[in-house]
Amino acid sequence: MRIAALSLAIFWSSTLAAAEPTLEDKSVLDGKVTVPIPKGFKVMSKELIKKKYPAGNAPKLIYTNERGTVNIAINHLENRVAPEQLPQALEATVQVFNRLHPQAQWFRKEMTKINDRDFFVLDLRTKAVDTDIRNIMCGTSLDGRMLMVTFNCTKELEGTWLEAGKKAIEGIKVK
């Protein structure tokens, strides 16, 4: 009986380890930024963008899985922000999310370094129409403007994708 249980545990741990998404670096914004993106993700189609962002506020570049349930978005905004203004940008962004999603479950909201560059990082779960969405966002100054990189997935997919999303955020490189 113990051997069977041990064999089953080894099988499941090797199966789960094999199922962990593989990331590959993608160069974006004319080579200024490198973001680790899960292998097999494609740029989201214009049709799906219109469906997911009907108000027209979509990020400029979104990588997604086939079903559009796991995304990494890159957005170089027009908003001016200097590196020393990032703590204020963090507070302002938290206030916006608290107003838009008062029931959000917060996991992290802080300033940090990612590859020797100052970023703010927000990690929260928000309510959507039919499910909850896990969002990990980070922001920094690039060319005097706000660069936002966001990972999101449905709550149901966190077990498979959350670690890959965290690694994607932690692996961002800005020149």
Amino acid identity of 9? A
CA atoms within 13 A on the CB side of 165: 31
Quote the CA–CA distance of 33 and 74 in Å, as a whole number: 9
Min mean pLDDT across 18-22, 28-32, 73-77 is at: 18-22
* CA dist 12 → 22, 41, 118 (Å): 18, 25, 39
> Can you give the pLDDT at residue 30?
96
Q: Which residue has the higher pLDDT, 39 or 10?
A: 39
Q: Identify the structural domains of the chain with CATH numbers, from first to last.
A: 22-174 (3.40.1000.10)
Min mean pLDDT across 17-26, 74-83, 135-144 is at: 17-26
Cross-strand pairs, 146: 141
3-state secondary structure of 79: strand
pLDDT class for 129, splitting at 50, 70, 90? confident
Q: Which residue has the higher pLDDT, 7 or 82?
A: 82
> Can you give the pLDDT at residue 51?
87
The pLDDT tens digits for 34-68 are 999 999 999 999 999 988 888 888 999 999 999 99
Among residues 145, 143, 144, 169, the alpha carbon closest in space to that of 71 is found at 169
> Can you give the pLDDT at residue 69?
93
Amino acid identity of 63? Y
> Can you give the pLDDT at residue 15?
39
Quote the CA–CA distance of 60 and 97 in Å, as a whole number: 20
Quote the CA–CA distance of 139 and 123 in Å, as a whole number: 12
Reported as type and span, the H/E element at residue 164 is helix 158-170
What is the value of pTM for the model shown?
A: 0.86
> Can you give the pLDDT at residue 55?
82
Give the other-Cβ count within 10 Å of 136's Cβ: 22
